[in-house]
Chain A
């Protein structure tokens, strides 16, 4: 199975390189103009062809080298005079972006993207170095924001998917830092919503599905932070409601919703996740009240509905639903039944319940597999 997948990837890569050559030839012969050629190439390259091993390794290498660079700066490496360190950073940024462009032009896309990522990390290291050179303190959040803006700019200009993901991660880091900063109010910055909207637009331009998924996850984090800050239930309930609506839309109109949100068919999964996240907060709030059971019933109903409505199309959604079901059971046990049963009773009950869940999951999976095979024959 593994071998087959591997050869499939090679086949895809071979097809890509052949198609790229053909497009170049068509352009040279005047069959298509430059804009069409570029658009075709982009379309071919942005096709999700599974996670390519080489790409992952190249990105990992860039992250490792980048981390080494950041650590070097952090250790205040005195072997180099600091002017030389600035020169090294400048040279690293130049070499990273230009070298990445050069590699991309030669068709080594993954290594090109990895070099760009490294250049963006070097930019961050440069900001850290300036802070260290002048003993700046107290505005780390601003430094992260500048880093994020620089990375987003690079992502836009170079139409780079990994750089978009990088910018989204930096924005999330900024959100966490501002929200957990000691003193000065401790507020969750509403401006993050604007930042997320901008990054969403960037991700559409750079065709980065992963970035959009990360943005949605960061918005769930945002709601959790707002709840921790204010203890109000408006944000979590809003999250659960919007997520349920998104799920319904994604399940009922898969093609239409996909055209608009472009999540690679992941909208129902994100919807279910958001629903569970929001409702979990509500449950924590009603932990010791009677209405807890009502909330738990809503969650169970939601998870089962998700399974019935969209479980067949998405394996990820099914597993998320199973996990949510078990989590919810545990939650209900700890709050309601935990007080009634002893530890031995708990193990017995947990074992029986898990066995029941296992049987149900196996049956669902078998049925899905069976109907998929049936469709395949038809």
Chain B
């Protein structure tokens, strides 16, 4: 093959690989939206001065800060270098999902009942740290908005009840699905 045609082919190959990586990322997220289990979370305002960061609002949830008791005595056995946390959720009377158990490194030991869903997050502190509450990020702490729309939501969150519908994959990965102001969805995510 002549060198110029080979260069074109190689360039096409590079483009295909990079596009493939993007496609794979999109497909993975769309898959969670399509087939994940839905949980409804209560949105809570975070650090009041610093909610709006350019083009997204930072969010915290009713499961963002977990009391130490939730981990039971699994904290002592956990690897000090472990930051991955699994939190077992169950729906309360209002339809908001609340944490019922949590563990570092692997899902809580007792087999989950049908009404339970395990969600995966990353803790801010190692299991060895002596903290009353352990804060956990689930990768859903940002909501991107068109420029200028953030301020309104930022103010709304302090006054009204906002909720977030989140899809949870079987491995515990969380994915934002729809954002509710009270009962009205303000943004809902299409698959693609």
Residues of A within 8 A of B (CB): 34, 37-38, 74-76, 78, 82-83, 86, 89-90, 93-94, 96-98, 100-102, 104-105, 116, 119, 123, 126-127, 130, 132-139, 146, 150, 153-154, 157-158, 183-185
Contact = CB atoms under 8 A, between A and B. Distances in A.
B4 interface: yes
Given A38-B3, A101-B7, 20 more contacts: A74-B54, A76-B55, A76-B146, A78-B146, A86-B192, A93-B15, A94-B15, A97-B11, A98-B12, A123-B21, A130-B25, A135-B144, A135-B189, A137-B140, A137-B142, A138-B122, A150-B18, A154-B14, A158-B14, A184-B122
B24 to A, nearest CB: 10
A136 B22 contact: no
B26 A157 contact: no
Given A105-B8, A136-B139, A185-B126, A150 B145 contact: no
Contacts of B8: 98, 101-102, 105
Given A134-B189, A137-B137, A76 B18 contact: no
Q: Which 10 A-B pairs have the closest CB atoms?
A: A101-B11, A137-B142, A105-B4, A97-B11, A97-B15, A183-B124, A78-B146, A134-B29, A135-B176, A123-B18
Contacts of B113: none
A154 B145 CA distance: 33
Contacts of B13: 157
Nearest to B83: A184
Interface residues of B, number: 43
A105 B146 CA distance: 42
A211 B15 CA distance: 23
A74 B124 contact: no
Nearest to B179: A135
A130 B29 contact: yes
Interface in B1-48: 2-4, 7-8, 10-15, 17-19, 21-22, 25-26, 29
B144 A138 contact: no
Interface of B: 2-4, 7-8, 10-15, 17-19, 21-22, 25-26, 29, 54-56, 81, 83, 122-126, 137, 139-147, 175-176, 189, 192
Given A127-B22, A138-B137, A97 B124 contact: no
Contacts of A135: 56, 140, 142-144, 176, 189
A123 B22 contact: yes
Contacts of A157: 10-11, 13-14
Q: Which of B19, B145, B175, B176 has the most CB of A within 10 A?
A: B19
A37 to B, nearest CB: 8
27 contacts: A37-B3, A38-B3, A74-B54, A74-B55, A75-B55, A76-B147, A78-B146, A90-B19, A93-B18, A93-B19, A96-B15, A101-B8, A101-B10, A102-B8, A119-B18, A127-B25, A134-B29, A134-B176, A135-B140, A135-B189, A137-B142, A138-B141, A150-B17, A150-B18, A153-B18, A184-B83, A184-B123
